[in-house]
Chains A and B, each alone.
Chain A
Amino acid sequence: MSANGSSSNHSGEINPIPWMTWLVGVLVMLSITRNFLYLCLIVLCLNMICVILSKQTNAMGGLISPFRLTVMITLMASVFNMLTSHAGETRLATIPGNLPYLSGAITLEALVYGCTNGMVLSGLFLSFYIIHLVLPTRAFLQLVPRAYHSLAVIAAIAITYIPSTMQQFHQIREAQTIRGHRLRRVSDWLPLLMPLLLSGLERALQLAEAMTARGFASQEQPSSPVVARLALVIGLVITILGLLPRIFPTSMMWVGESAFYIFKKSNWLLVAGGLIFASSLWFQGSHIRRPRYQGYTWSIRDWDCILAIGLPLSIFALHASGQYHASLFYNPYPLFQIPVFDNLTGISLLGLLGILVNTSRDVP
Chain B
Amino acid sequence: MGGLLALLAPFLSRLHGGKPENQAANADFSPFHLLYLLGLCLLLLLWEMQRQNRDPKMLALLGVLVAINSTLRFMDIAIPIPGGFSPIFFLIILTGYVYGAEFGFLMGALTLLVSALITGGVGPWLPGQMMTAGWVGMSAPLCHILVKRMKLSGSVVERILLAGFSGLWGLVFGAIMNLWTWPFFIAPSGMSMDVEGGWRSLIASYALFYLTTSLVWDLSRSAGNMLLIWMFGAPVLRALHRLKLRFQFEILTSGALVDDPIYNGSETTGVKSNVS
Contact = CB atoms under 8 A, between A and B. Distances in A.
B64 A201 contact: yes
A331 B106 CA distance: 41
A92 B43 CA distance: 48
A153 interface: yes
Contacts of B47: 147-148, 232, 281
Residue of A205, A218, A233, A250 with most chain B CB atoms under a 10 A cut-off: A205
Contacts of B50: 148, 150-151
A77 to B, nearest CB: 8
Contacts of A157: 59-60, 62-64, 66-67
Interface residues of A, number: 94
A251 B247 contact: no
Interface string A251-283: 100000000000000000010011001000100
B21 A186 contact: no
Interface in B122-152: 122-124
Nearest to A145: B43
A247 interface: yes
B17 A158 contact: no
A217 B187 CA distance: 53
A155 B2 contact: no
Interface string A148-176: 10110111111111100110010000000
B190 to A, nearest CB: 5
B29 A243 contact: yes
Contacts of B114: 155, 158-159, 162
Contact of A333 (B24, B63, B71): B24
A165 to B, nearest CB: 5
A152 to B, nearest CB: 9
Nearest to A217: B56
B116 to A, nearest CB: 9
Contacts of B22: 331
Contacts of A124: 123-124
Query: Which residue, of B29, B41, B71, B232, has the highest number of chain A Cβ atoms within 10 A?
Result: B71
Interface string B45-68: 011001101111101111111111
B65 A204 contact: yes
Interface in A218-240: 218, 221, 224, 232-233, 235-236, 239-240
B36 interface: yes
B12 A248 contact: yes
Interface residues of B, number: 82
B210 interface: no
B180 to A, nearest CB: 11
Interface in A113-168: 113-114, 117, 120-121, 124-125, 128-129, 131-132, 137, 140, 147-148, 150-151, 153-162, 165-166
Q: Per DSSP, are chain B's interface residues mostly helix, strand or loop, or mixed?
A: helix
Interface string B227-260: 1000110011001100100110001010000000
Interface stretch (A37-45, A83-91, A303-311, A349-357): A83-91
Contacts of A158: 63-64, 66-67, 70, 110, 114
A207 B120 contact: no
Given A124-B124, A162-B70, A207-B64, A330 B25 contact: yes
Contacts of B32: 27-28, 31-32
A187 B243 contact: no
Nearest to A137: B117
B57 A208 contact: yes
B119 interface: yes
Contacts of A68: none
Given A151-B50, A157-B67, A239 B17 contact: no
Contact of B106 (A32, A154, A201): A154
A101 B190 contact: yes
10 contacts: A87-B187, A137-B118, A151-B110, A154-B66, A161-B63, A186-B227, A201-B61, A270-B33, A333-B24, A333-B188
Given A34-B25, A169-B75, A212-B251, 7 more contacts: A87-B187, A148-B47, A154-B110, A161-B64, A165-B67, A205-B60, A333-B25
Chain A to chain B: the 9 pairs with minimum beta-carbon distance, closest first: A157-B63, A250-B17, A161-B67, A331-B25, A204-B64, A85-B189, A208-B60, A158-B66, A85-B187
